[in-house]
Amino acid sequence: MKTIEIKGSLREDLGKKNSNQLRKSGNVPCVMYLKDNNVHFYAHENSFRHLIYTHEAHLVKLSLGNQEYKAVLHDTQFHPVTDKLIHADFVQIFDDKPVIIDIPVTVTGDAAGVKAGGKLIVKKRHLKVRGLAENLPEDLVIDVTELKIAHSIKVGDLSYDKIELIDPKITTVVTVATSRVALKTEEEEAAEAAAAAAAAEGAEAAGETPGAEKDKEKEKEKEKGKEKDKDKEKKG
């Protein structure tokens, strides 16, 4: 798997106002999840062009000041109207520890069911994979040449060298449906896309980034722990 470098700058202010200012200047607020804490930073939106707007998965080298981290892209948020990237989450990885990452599916071959009048439907465009960074492929190739109408390929039917598929084995990845079933599926996907856009708009209106919210939750847990310790000292 190829590695893409992203150069960013550490954030000093994590508020909504600062996040909006960063976006207006062409930057994307980001967070990287480490083992013990989170690192908040920002990078120019052009830095993500070859990472996000591509069919292939990539590893990431994050350069933040004098520090460099190996990471993978964990999650993204896009503006519901402009479709611009408004937030990105990363997770630090290590060469000797397995990483879990979503890898895109690439379908090859002319399905027998399509030649017979059916329609090929890709149900899962990404699959969750666990493996060492050096063994991760850029995509998961699936040959559908023998796939007939009303037949499907499930996660349990797939296997790849040195990596493990995490999704449930009964999950359908690709199928060949009749014209009537294919039309219903397209309508369902359109409804799901509309719901996802509405949810993204609500998240942006809320203001804080997901990483900032998780940091606040951790701080609350620490305060609760301190209060419990004080109560124990009083009783003792």
Tell me the per-residue pLDDT of 25-60, one tens digit each, with 9 for 90 and over. Answer: 999 999 999 888 899 999 999 999 889 888 888 999
Query: 3-class DSSP state for residue 204?
Result: helix
Q: Which two tokens stand for residue 228?
A: 């419990």
**How many angstroms separate the CA atoms of 19 and 27, rounded?**
9
| Reported confidence tier of residue 220, pLDDT bands at 50, 70, 90 | low
pLDDT at 20 over 80: yes
pLDDT at 195: 73
In DSSP notation, 41-83 reads EEEEGGGGHHHHSSSS--EEEEEETTEEEEEEEEEEEE-TTT-
**How many angstroms separate the CA atoms of 57 and 73, rounded?**
9
The percent of residues above 70 in pLDDT, for the chain, comes to 76
pLDDT at 198 over 90: no
**How many angstroms separate the CA atoms of 62 and 29, rounded?**
14
pLDDT at 164: 97
Q: Which two tokens stand for residue 170?
A: 């009964």
The whole-chain average pLDDT of the chain stands at 84
pLDDT at 113 over 80: yes
In DSSP notation, 107-168 reads EES--HHHHTT-EEEES-SEEEEEE-GGG--SSEEEE-TTPPTT-EEEGGG---TT-EE-S-
In Å, what is the CA distance from 83 to each residue of 16, 76, 86, 185, 197?
19, 11, 9, 24, 9
Q: Which two tokens stand for residue 203?
A: 């998240």
Beta-bridged to residue 153, according to DSSP, are 174
Query: In terms of pTM, does the model score above 0.75?
Result: no
pLDDT at 152: 96
Average the pLDDT over 81-102 and give the result: 92
Q: Which residue has the higher pLDDT, 3 or 183?
A: 3
Q: Which residue has the higher pLDDT, 185 or 175?
A: 175
pLDDT at 228: 54
pLDDT at 13: 86
